[in-house]
C-alpha cells in the first residue's frame, strides 16, 4: 500500500503545508495509523473517511493545497470521473521525521 503525491506537491507535503488529500480508490491504498514514504520523508495517516465529494469543503481544499474544489476534483479524478455524489477518501496526515519516528506518539 502507498500514498503517492504529484512531484509538484511533495515539498509542500513534507513542509507540513498540505495535511489532507482526497483520493478516488477502488480499493484501500492506505490505512489509518500507517506510515508512508513521500520523497525523502514520511507521513503518518491520522484518519481516512469515505464520503461524497459534495462533503469536501473549502477548508479541505486549502489543506489539500489546491486553489479551489474543481482543481481538487481534477487532481483526484485521474482514477475516473468524480461527481458530487462520488464517494472519495478524505485522508488526514502529518509529517514524521526522516527516520520514520513520529514525535506525536
State the cell numbers at 5. 503525491
What order do you get walking across the sheet with 87-96 strand by strand?
20-23, 87-96, 41-52, 35-38
Domains in the chain (CATH in brackets) are 7-96 (3.10.400.10)
pLDDT at 64: 97
Q: What is the DSSP letter of 8?
A: H
Q: How high is the pLDDT of residue 79?
A: 81
Per-residue model confidence as pLDDT tens for the chain (105 residues): 668 899 999 999 999 999 999 999 888 889 999 999 998 899 999 999 999 999 999 999 999 999 999 999 999 998 889 999 999 999 999 999 766 556 565
| Dihedral pair phi/psi, residue 89, rounded to 5° | -105, 120
Distances (CA, A) of 53 to 13, 28, 42, 61, 87: 22, 17, 27, 11, 6
Amino acid at each position: 500500500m502507498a500514498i503517492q503525491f504529484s512531484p509538484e506537491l511533495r515539498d509542500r507535503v513534507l513542509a507540513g503545508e498540505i495535511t489532507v488529500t482526497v483520493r478516488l480508490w477502488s480499493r484501500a491504498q492506505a490505512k489509518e495509523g500507517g506510515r508512508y514514504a513521500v520523497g525523502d520523508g514520511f507521513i503518518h495517516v491520522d484518519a481516512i473517511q469515505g464520503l461524497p465529494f459534495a462533503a469536501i469543503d473549502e477548508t479541505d481544499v486549502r489543506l489539500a493545497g489546491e486553489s479551489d474544489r474543481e482543481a481538487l476534483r481534477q487532481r483526484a479524478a485521474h482514477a475516473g470521473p468524480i461527481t458530487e455524489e462520488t464517494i472519495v477518501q478524505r485522508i488526514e496526515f502529518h509529517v514524521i521525521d526522516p527516520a520514520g519516528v513520529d514525535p506525536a506518539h
